[in-house]
Amino acid sequence: SGPALQPARADPGTVTPLIVLPAAGSSSRMRGRDKLLETVDGVPLLRRQALAALETGLPVAVTLPRGADARRDALADLPLDLRDIADADEGLSASLRAAQAMLATNQSLGILLPDVPGIGVADIQAVLDRFLDLREARVTRGGRMGDDRPGTPLFLPHAIAIRFAGLTGDDGGRSVLRDEEVELVRFPDDRAVRDLDTPEAWAEWRRDSGTAR
């Protein structure tokens, strides 16, 4: 991999944001395969995305379903905070509730969806830099030029992130963000919005990106 990026800028005395990868969901549409253990250039996707998050210099946590030994093994030697989610079957909301509960006082939250393999460390850093330029005061996330679809990563001010405590079901945070002003960092392609949930989506992405297993 390339040289490590410098740790994220922060004003003296402030707490740097926490990045959480919500990896407690099932791969129900993968017909027996685990989308987060699909390999990209020989590296399991979950490990690859966790490494990208770590390269920002921020603390990183990963939520996992109980008993996810293969996912845990893929992350075993990395400096991560791994959190088992007892109610993972509820959907993304369970991971988002756990994510906000990890925050220190006034700490902002970053969410990196781990099933979006087009996102790398430079993309995470671009969204993070914009969030920091806005003094961590506005929801900031990846997007696509000419497209208003919300993408990953997502950075939230502390006061907004803690509202994830009330989420239920597979809301994915939409109810919390519905009335918030969102700053989109738009990339020239679909890297921030292309999640891979089926074998067909994986095959198409590998073909389009020219990426090996």
In the chain the domains, ranked by start, together with CATH numbers, are 18-26+34-164+179-196 (3.90.550.10)
Omega within 30 of 0 (cis) for the link into 117: no
Residue 58 · residue 19 · CB < 8 Å? yes
Give residue 49's pLDDT: 97
What integer best gives the mean pLDDT of the chain? 88
pLDDT digits (tens, 9 = 90+) for 179-188: 999 999 999 9
Identify the residue with better confidence: 190 or 11. Answer: 190
Give residue 188's pLDDT: 94
Residue 167 · residue 173 · CB < 8 Å? yes
The whole-model pTM stands at: 0.91
d(CA 213, CA 101): 35
